Structure 1
């Protein structure tokens, strides 16, 4: 995808008052899942590689490997073969002494890369080491020059900065995305310290971006720090008119994996976990048992395709009999029940989450958003987007 196509796509979303979402990925699986979740672009960074290895993102700053080689290998062997439509932005370490950056970027363009970002970035380094890097022309200005050269080559540019001074300096080359890196994503539960941290982060982001002369075709985004869930992000969004979106790394890749893994292991270990399939071993099932089985099955599988004929096969019943029985016991047809179940759940997601509309549709079993939207409007007299907006307006 070309730079001007990416800009047009992002501008359309901003014009529609949608926040931009980028995902930093460290594996082909995460990249594939991110695209299916409708992210706006993918960042391929060495920090993601270390996350996948069970190491802190700061592992990318150690001299245990060559960051540019690691990222290029990930891109060539895991990301590019997936034939993803999302714009692919590679992290490029600007002070790599083993490559000719100009030729390297030409090779990246030939290889289908849409853009680059300055990563690993010295902006997260301070103290004596940072001073030594700057004094030997291995510092921040090397990254600025890298992105300036990339922009001249037609590459899309995402610029990481960590301070107001760095933001002001980087803005002189007007990168396509100026991203305020807030440090590593910390994770953890909501508490007094977390709230205080979010408030100070909000003030820092606000005070930084309001000092920058934003260009009309430019975007301001944030990354990392204490933000580890959607409410945190929208706390910043709703209180900051300058921010166009959020780029997530650990929040999309590490934290969900940790939580879901613990949950699933507990589910497998817990003997009290509800198992509706146990009913199938009972030869004395009554009609009411069949209905309970179907309702339990829908509870578990509403996000997937559900067929009454398949359920009838499981229960060793005819589809016609099961259809009549269900309508007699519940009062509506099986199809109507499933539709109502999914749409009621979609209303909860529209009210309580900030998921994109397409993602809401997919989570309740409608991979085709157009079909979901038509059903929603048929049942409730308004579109999903209007329903979400009207609910928020009431708040």
Structure 2
């Protein structure tokens, strides 16, 4: 409000002195109270102020706030790197710790829980747990970890006779569980994020020799355990499903959820994998697309074979359940032994021996009778025997 001569009366309350005037109607006013009460001018003024503030907020919202937040730190703190440049600023110990988290699967616990579309629980080896059902109740009540929507089943699949004239080898059936392991492993490893191309389909190829080259298998167990070894040999992290969980996925896919069409889940998985391989090839330069095209042809062949092999799928499912049960039992035994050792040690690592704190806790000198940097313990030492058993099972 602009000031005027102090002897002018107030235009609202008739006060003898009105030192202010409204910038809109030029009425003389004595105070802020009279200004707010003198009508539409005040309302229009405040409305204009609000609109102006909203316009300023919209224009400033286009500027990302994250750079400013990154700069917020306590006085005297050194600037911390962010983004892709963070790795080069980590110490070697921090890098080793992160690698261990990836290889052991501990990093998966830091990610949001994800359930694949074929998930139906722990299945036939649920009795290996504590039987409380806490995990299933948490999933149902909390709404977390519910399976996502299933990929579509292909509407039409060419018959196998259209792809090859000669009948297929009886060993072709064992290619299917190997390829399904690669699919389930890769999808769970990347949390079902189909935008991670070509990494997701590339992990499926790395874990499945059936997708990479001509690799015959003589049994379902050989096909599944070979895929598990290949995934480790490729340097890929442990799947969030775990070893037995990835085998469980193959068994569930082979068994299917629809009794009217037991092969529907296998067809949906293979068709999904085919499309992921096609999208992954587009993300690569032309010279590197050949292995994706070769894997896609094998997936198409297995898809055509599976649609007419209902009895073979049922047999493969029974065999995959058996492999899963054996591996799950081994995992439970290893976990029990490890838990017992950690109770004895008082932590995840054995305590160093007196005078040998600088030696590696599990070093065995080649050609010398030394374990833990000292004489080899007696064979009945439960700690050593437990560790040897863990190494054999791993």
TM-score grouping bracket, smaller chain normalisation: under 0.3
Structure number having the greater strand percentage: 1
Structure number with greater Rg is: 2
